[in-house]
Amino acid sequence: MTSCELCSNVGGQLVHEAQKFRVIRVLDANFPAFYRLIWAEHVAEFTDLNEADRWLCMQAVARIEEVLRRELLPSKINLATLGNVVPHLHWHVIARFDWDSHFPQPVWGAVQRVIEPAAVMRLSASLAQLDHSVVTALSAGLLNYTCQPT
């Protein structure tokens, strides 16, 4: 679908590409630990996926969240799948901190404070290490898994 932004563009810094989905890191200076899982096939809703693909999608989202929690110890993880502007199934997985520029508001909300030093400098792991850990977590048996519907 050429008119779909997520069908025609990678959508950020490509971290991992699998047969059914890709994972990118959103290039946002305020939220450097902002990942997005983008489903490869153009579907608008989670329930457009069959049971096995829904399971795969949520397992991948959970593994990204686990990496962020383990390596960054954030105040909160935000998960979102809005798709109002881009109706292509994708999940946002965002590490949030009580010091971030918008906390406790959503990342799309109003700025609450200016932070110094830059957000990326405050993270307890480098972006390269996070990306590597996300790939490792996704590759640990998940990508070749075939769910048998019950």
Q: What is the mean pLDDT of residues 95-109?
A: 96
Q: Convert 19-33 to b/e letters by CB count within 10 Å (16 or more is b).
A: ebbbbbbbeeeebbb
Q: Kindly state the average pLDDT of the residues 72-78.
A: 98
Confidence of residue 148 (pLDDT cuts 50, 70, 90): very low
pLDDT above 60 for 67: yes
The highest-confidence range among 4-13, 79-88, 134-143, by mean pLDDT, is 4-13
CATH class entry, domain 5-139: alpha beta
Q: Where are the domains of the chain?
A: 5-139
pLDDT number for residue 2: 62
